[in-house]
Amino acid sequence: MDFSWMAWTTPTIIFFSTILFFLITLTVWEIKIPGGAPRKGILRFETTRGDRLFISLLGSAYIHILWLAVTSFSIWGALALAIVFAICVFSFV
């Protein structure tokens, strides 16, 4: 198949492959340990594993956008910050 019209660069492939990996991992996790009981974290509303994944992906996107808008440092710093953010979301939200 010819996907050249989509401009599939290596970073784009890595990005979408990572999201696919997260979704597959959460699906397998849900099959192995059903339920994933919703919990109330620091935001004071119930979240499930999927909710926390969505919050961490959305927050990571904003971190990267702000990083590019505000600094001229390497994007790897934004990635490190986004990973720390995701760990905090899954731990406390």
Q: Does the structure show a pLDDT above 70 at 18? A: yes
How do residues 47-82 score in pLDDT, each as one tens digit?
Answer: 888 889 899 999 999 999 999 999 999 889 999 999
The percent of residues in the chain predicted with pLDDT above 90, rounded, is 42
pLDDT number for residue 28: 92
State the pLDDT confidence band at 3, using cuts at 50, 70 and 90.
Answer: low
As separate numbers, helices (DSSP H) first and strands (DSSP E) second, the chain gives: 3, 2
Helices (H), 41-74: 49-70
Residue 33 carries which DSSP code? S
Q: How high is the pLDDT of residue 1?
A: 64
Task: Give the count of alpha carbons within 13 A of 18, CB side only.
Answer: 11
Neighbours of 50 (CB within 10 A): 13
- Per-residue model confidence (pLDDT) at position 83: 93
The ranges assigned to domains in the chain are 4-92
